[in-house]
Structure 1
Amino acid sequence: MSVQLPWVINDVQIYHKNKLVEVSIGFARGNEFSCPECGLACSVHDSVTHRWRYLDFFDYRCYLTMNVPRVRCEKHGVLTLKETPWGRMGSHYSFMVEHEIMKLSSEMSMSALSKHIGEPDSNLWRVFKYYVFNAVHNDLDLSMLRRVAVDEKPQKRGHIYVTIFSDLDTGNVINVTEGRKKEVFSEFRAWLPKHGGDPEVIELFSMDMSVSYKAGRAEYFKEADEVYDRFHIKKG
């Protein structure tokens, strides 16, 4: 972990009994920070404390506790920075941990991921939805989309599912729709043109062998092929 001015490490505590590392980060006095709204350099008004889980240090859990500046902007008043070099406000996890969550979420269910990293699946879903929401609202260009991966994930206990559509060529998640009935393909078809995608040029769907998914593909993407990977064939 690299820490550079204006940020400084205030303290590091290692708790061997609990296998825990606590790192405290602050900022040097006299520095200015950009207003999160307009970007102008502003003086520090005060600070708030935020804590993120960081990447584990061997088998020790690591946490960053940080004094996050609140700046005084002449135009926008007193505002808290929206993010720091290590994490964003509103998240339980540092950027590096969020990256791992997004990477592993494409390889395992949220319940399995929850057990793997020892975090509540509700927190993991918040991270997942945050980045998917940003992806689909920040000028997502799907004009080159041709091949789509479709998968389901249990959202909560009690067999409540979401359907996840990903670009098979880039691996990026592009859409999350509640449910796993054939109608999710109808919603996906209607959603594509809003982001430059053309339903008529989709060539292939890689998905599991569920009856509803097969029916949805056949009804709403008649010209596209469907394939099943080894995992889905074995599971089916």
Structure 2
Amino acid sequence: MRVRTVFNRILGLDGTAVVGVVFTGDEAVVTVRRVAKVHRCPCGCRVPGRYDRSVRRWRHVDACGMKMWLEAEVARIWCPDCERVRTEDVPWARPGARHSQAFEDTVAWLATRMDKTSLAQLMRCSWEAVDRIVGRVVVERLDDSRLNNLVRIGVDEISYLRGHRYLTVVVDHDTGRVVWVGKGHGVETLEEFYRELGFLRRKKLKAVTMDASSAYISATRTMAAQAVICIDPFHVIKWTNEALDAAFRNSAIPTLKAQMKQARTNAPWRKARFALRAGRQKLRQEHHKILKVIRAERTELHKVYLLKEELRDLFQIIDPGQADSYLRDWVQRAAGSGSSAFRSLAQKIVRHADGIIAAVELGLSNSRSEGVNTKIRVIQRRGYGHPKAQSLATMIYLCCSGIQISLPTQR
């Protein structure tokens, strides 16, 4: 069997024929040519003639420990659609790339599972080449159709660098996939997403979950006024725990102070704080004993603890049809509790009451977004951080937007 026939079968490139093979040291240069006679522009336009031609090389997947290169003669053509001279499209590589499509797909698949430095060492290329390859694959595979048929979305922020550098991440509640990533977490950032979504697709939005960010609320009310804003229950409980912490710090409990002095540690205080903040289902016998001490020695603190538990019930056991009246009654009792922290909390909840009630009635939260944020943290740790927002955004799209990458051996 001739060498050209062997490499034709090994490479398996559609629309391509092997012309010759040259071995130089630890490298193999495979000369190939297009089977089609008509030149094709990257835009898809077919052109019979050419402007000029030159010889180029593309890095291919290694074989038998040898670096593999594809070499071919390519033409520059005048594209009537683009109205300029462009390099013709070749079947074995993406437009503008100096790596074969099989090489780039392998790199992209590995990038979802390892850091780019190790990946560059494995594939024997530069870190910069890996970064550019991931960007090209994402641009090719990221389809605008991901923004179609969005009905319920979650909006959240995540930091990518010290100094309060954030990305805004939009997640589809129905699929759990990331549909958009933008730099920043202000009004302009979310408005940019709504503008990219377009008027007709914005009108299909029915609910948007978020924390109580004034920027996100303002952008949503301006650009998608028909969508119901749902305030994430997790953040509401977080506000309540912060108010409970303030009440806890202002309340001295003699029995717990004596236990701490005897043990010479902060363990009793930590146990008391856990007993107050945690839900009933997480408490052990020792925590119930602490609550008995608090109820006996500081009734004001125990009173606001009960208020916290009653607010948790709003999201867990209260019938959604009764959520409005239940929350209004809770606000009145919190305002009259005697705790300044809970009076401030009651005022805050009143300001966001509509969004809280909507979250209960629709059964929505930002859990989808929080789950995606956990995956993003894994991406950041695996890559040892991403100093540039665009680099992290590209990796988020690659790993969390539903892009499917197949290895050359899986085709």
Name the CA shift for 1:218/1:65 in 2 (closer, same or farther; >3 Å). Answer: farther
**1:162-202 Cα deviation digits (max 9, x unpaired):** 97969799898755656xxxx56988755554345869556
Offset at 1:98? Answer: 1.1
TM-score, with length taken from structure 2: 0.38
Q: Which has the higher contact order (CA 8 A, sep 6+)?
A: 2
Gaps (5+ residues) in structure 2? 1-10, 211-233, 237-363, 382-411
Aligned length: 203
**1:71-112 Cα deviation digits (max 9, x unpaired):** 34567464321x311002422311111111211111112122
Task: Note the aligned Cα RMSD (angstroms).
Answer: 4.5
TM-score, with length taken from structure 1: 0.61
Match of 1:23 in 2: 30
Offset at 1:122? Answer: 0.9
Q: Is the 8 A contact 1:87 1:94 kept in 2?
A: yes
Distance, in Å, in 1 between the alignment partners of 2:160 and 2:56 is: 30
Distance, in Å, in 1 between the alignment partners of 2:38 and 2:168 is: 42
Match of 2:19 in 1: 10
Q: Which has the larger radius of gyration?
A: 2
Does the alignment pair 1:60 with 2:66? yes
3-state secondary structure, aligned to 1:10:
strand
Gaps (5+ residues) in structure 1? 155-160, 204-216
Q: Is the 8 A contact 2:45 2:79 kept in 1?
A: no
Q: Percent identity?
A: 17
3-state secondary structure, aligned to 1:84:
coil
Distance, in Å, in 2 between the alignment partners of 1:47 and 1:171 is: 47
Q: Is the 8 A contact 1:46 1:71 kept in 2?
A: yes
Distance, in Å, in 1 between the alignment partners of 2:176 and 2:130 is: 19
Does the alignment pair 1:86 with 2:96? no
Distance, in Å, in 1 between the alignment partners of 2:160 and 2:12 is: 36
Match of 1:126 in 2: 132
Structure with greater proportional helix content:
2
Q: Is the 8 A contact 2:38 2:46 kept in 1?
A: no
Q: Is the 8 A contact 1:54 1:94 kept in 2?
A: yes
Q: Is the 8 A contact 1:72 1:78 kept in 2?
A: yes
Listed as ranges, the matches of 1:142-153 within 5 Å are: 143=149
**1:40-93 Cα deviation digits (max 9, x unpaired):** 432234322221111111322111111112234567464321x31100242231
* Greater displacement, 134-143 / 51-60: 134-143
Letter paired with 1:2: G
Match of 1:208 in 2: none
Name the CA shift for 1:153/1:132 in 2 (closer, same or farther; >3 Å). Answer: farther
